[in-house]
Amino acid sequence: MIGFGPNAPWGAVSQIDCRAKARDPRIRPLAFRVYFAALGWGNRLGHAEFAEGALASILGAEGAPLTKQAVQKGVTAAKALGLVAGDSGARCLVLPQHHFQNGGKGAASCRVHALRTSA
């Protein structure tokens, strides 16, 4: 169940639309697209797991994936802005519970961070 505290207002976003925005090279800086990827793929723990190279493909342009260094730079910038949590990396972007909750479908586990809940 979603809840951000007593009387705390909250909304919802379309993860499909967030995924499209993560892939949109017109959206700059790259940190914003990293954030949209976290929102778009965030599971019930707020973890968005990516296969090796998958985030580089999402953040690429015109069919060309970003380099590992460029992906890392974008993730680092997103962390510096507080858009994703400090334990985020190219294999898993993390959104803190005070910012993101997913009451719908999806895993409540993360292989990258070795997390599993019975929720």
Rule CB under 5 A: which residues touch Zn ion? 47, 92, 110, 112-113
In the complex, minimum distance from the CB of residue 26 to Zn ion, in angstroms, rounded to a whole number = 28
Token code pair at residue 48: 């968005």
Positive or negative, the CA dihedral 26, 32, 33, 36 is negative
**Closer CB to Zn ion, 27 or 53, in the complex:** 53
d(CA 2, CA 91): 26
Shortest distance (Å) from residue 23 CB to Zn ion: 21
Least distance in angstroms from the C-beta of 46 to Zn ion: 8
CB of 45 to Zn ion, least distance (A): 7
> Cα-Cα-Cα-Cα dihedral of 63, 64, 68, 69, to 10°?
-120
Nearer to Zn ion, 64 or 119 (CB): 119
CA-based nearest residue to 59, from 13, 19, 110: 19
- From the list 116, 99, 118, 113, the residue with the least C-alpha distance to 2 is 99
Nearer to Zn ion, 37 or 110 (CB): 110
Taking the least distance from each CB to Zn ion, the nearer of 31 and 38 is 38
